[in-house]
Structure 1
């Protein structure tokens, strides 16, 4: 048993010299076994060992006795021990979660607090191969990816599981052979919890009627699955670099043509991992969402779907865009008077220069994306620079709704809301960076010309200033 646990620790590089190891000690056979094994390894591997016990406030005198027992064992072994009390029933009610989930949440909160207090190191918990089999079966019955079939990771961040290659039977034999006392939690024998049903009814039935080595073989299978899952994940991350056009915590763009060349298995992982790039995690992300994303790749431009945590996925021509949440449709506007001005649009980062002059010698004006000349005599309403509104239209060879113009010009949806528009009421003079209205172009009959230059640059203190300053 000692050699097996040492081999597991070395195989997964669980413990480094001089680290602080915080052991979650319930007082049951599993954690008592791990306590004695780590104590024996402590001098050889040169680490500091601490025990932490959480009293959940659920089992009355039995829980009190567990705390007393744990404290006594640690004193006997000269292992520092901290006892924490949590009112799990109240916490579960407050958080609207099960007592089982609330207890787990509280335990790991305390484990991490203790590790932070002691310094760099690891948190050791006593999950074993039977727990692994229970977890895999539980995940299978809920519906699971390869990651779920891989079960419990031997090491995840600062969390280590040195007993993961040992069966419950081996642990109990070790305790018996070494005359180790431990406490029994009667709630582990209650079938009201689904995990307990798997442990007490399903696994014994499988071992009796199908395979007496079921636990060991499930452990072997989960290890193989974890290895293959890790390889596929590495491949997905590598190929993602060639598929992405943009990847920030707010917006991800994938090249659909390149994505479609990738094997569907890896393709699905790339789509799933976009949520990790956006920082929203994979909770509530299910297989149906993968299928919806796959279907979106086959649809026409403009189609979109909603994903968990407010993420929107949309096809924009040959790109797949992911946005973190619906962008709030805030409106903004800057009124223009017949004055020479120079000001900054805070919402978009554009610098605006406005100049007026008389048309003394009409000539054709040069084509420029960010500087336009307008017939000011045709302005009828309030002249302004703003973002879009319902009912906007632009006069080209004829009137066209702004929405239709955006679609025809293939302007991505995510930039449409904040694209600066020079407007005369609901009539658009200029979609900045794109087209200006034919109606407002300067002609020989024009008396007053308005010159507008709108560029992306830094503000001068963010204030309106004189044009000639």
Structure 2
């Protein structure tokens, strides 16, 4: 069916990259377009040599009305003609995009990926083959350059990504179309591929023809760049993984990065460690922009208390010793949570992840030394007992008169002096007597009701972290 050239190119690409092993079952993503049709026929021609089983999958995106339905019918007919199993499904891509606030392209990619992975799992397929070709690689690299990318973007489309394989990355679109025509093989055309509304289409239809005037081999040159960048990136990623393990502590919904270690790294390593942290929390396949990463690195060099949205919904919050990468600013999460609580006397009261313990001590201990610390404070109980004692979070404009002072001090200043990370300040226990602060738990007590020789009953407060 094929002349040797493109088939041999694909065969050599598969073997040299070890994309497929004998006895693998391969799910072919069959859209009905020229690339996927070529992919199916090429794998069928190589099936016996590679010792593989083949099935096909088609997702109807329901975006082009009758055209989409005709694509599905075409794919099913082709699979039946070639005697292979076909699995198809329909998804409302436009509705999904609207609900998730995504572009149509991103929504289609997510739903297509989900369909292929679920189908592969259901039918025990070890590999999922897609029809990305040499031109797709060049277009992807150009898109990343235009949007602003580092080494990761120059890598382009990987030949292997988990179960996904791209056996046609060494074959140009022109070669594919020529062989389909010569062998009188039909395919479906997607009318949206000619629309100037999509960035990739404008790159393919306008930019690349202009670049060919300067370099007729621009497609191959960009593919070579991706190959070179990919090899370099493999080494960088190994180093970044090691650095990430040393620097980051992974929690359920956040990652803490040791700033002392992070700031000792080369800037290239910093960029990759930060990307790894964000990708642990972000939507599949979504990475921060170069500018966002650079802004974060700048803040992490010493802007304590600052915060930056590195991706929509992903924040970098700078503390004294660590930077927190989290799904939302910590203060936002806390503001939705713990309200003020009345303290139990005697007893324990929980606030966020802390405990405040209170007990009344008789005057018989007045002659003894009271062991005071930041976590244990004492008050004249009789001067406080007729007023409500509560624990809650700080409020805007909060201030107190610290013990031993005659002047008010803002709680913000006390937090800064104690080097409490900004991300923790809104969840810090603040003990009040009525409306007045008497203790920033574990940090500073006020001058309210100090114990003296006239004191008969002592209230002891302890901060249990």
Shorter chain as denominator, the TM-score bin is 0.7 to 0.9
Indicate if the aligned counterparts of 2:338 and 2:351 stay in contact, CA closer than 8 A: no
Structure 1 counterpart SS, 2:27: strand
Q: TM-score, normalised by structure 2?
A: 0.84
User: Structure 2: how far apart are the matches of 1:252 and 1:65?
Assistant: 47
Matched, 1:447 2:456: yes
Number of the residue aligned with 1:292: 295
| Unaligned 5+ runs, structure 2 | 1-5
Matched, 1:363 2:368: yes
Matched, 1:386 2:389: no
In the TM superposition, what is the alpha-carbon distance from 1:51 to its structure 2 partner? 1.4
Q: 2:207 aligns with which of 202, 205, 211?
A: 202
In the TM superposition, what is the alpha-carbon distance from 1:434 to its structure 2 partner? 3.0
Q: Deviations over 1:348-374 (max 9, x none)?
A: 242624234234652221234544332
Indicate if the aligned counterparts of 2:29 and 2:58 stay in contact, CA closer than 8 A: yes
Indicate if the aligned counterparts of 1:359 and 1:446 stay in contact, CA closer than 8 A: no
User: Structure 2: how far apart are the matches of 1:235 and 1:53?
Assistant: 39
Number of the residue aligned with 2:353: 348
Q: 1:113 aligns with which of 88, 109, 118?
A: 118
User: Structure 2: how far apart are the matches of 1:226 and 1:428?
Assistant: 58
Q: Deviations over 1:265-286 (max 9, x none)?
A: 2222223333224446774732
Indicate if the aligned counterparts of 2:317 and 2:324 stay in contact, CA closer than 8 A: yes
Indicate if the aligned counterparts of 1:129 and 1:216 stay in contact, CA closer than 8 A: yes
In the TM superposition, what is the alpha-carbon distance from 1:22 to its structure 2 partner? 1.6
Matched, 1:320 2:323: yes
Cα distance change, pair 404–281 in 1 and its aligned pair in 2 (3 A): farther
Indicate if the aligned counterparts of 1:115 and 1:123 stay in contact, CA closer than 8 A: yes
Matched, 1:420 2:425: no
Cα distance change, pair 402–206 in 1 and its aligned pair in 2 (3 A): closer
Greater Cα shift, 54-63 or 442-451: 54-63
Cα distance change, pair 447–104 in 1 and its aligned pair in 2 (3 A): closer
User: Structure 2: how far apart are the matches of 1:89 and 1:434?
Assistant: 54
Q: 1:260 aligns with which of 251, 259, 263?
A: 263
Structure 2 counterpart SS, 1:395: coil
In the TM superposition, what is the alpha-carbon distance from 1:82 to its structure 2 partner? 3.3
Indicate if the aligned counterparts of 1:58 and 1:88 stay in contact, CA closer than 8 A: yes
User: Structure 1: how far apart are the matches of 2:416 and 2:246?
Assistant: 27
Structure 2 counterpart SS, 1:221: helix
User: Structure 1: how far apart are the matches of 2:88 and 2:284?
Assistant: 33
Number of the residue aligned with 2:220: 216
Q: TM-score, normalised by structure 1?
A: 0.83
Structure 1 counterpart SS, 2:304: coil
Once superposed, what is the RMSD of the aligned Cα atoms? 3.2
State the aligned residue count.
452
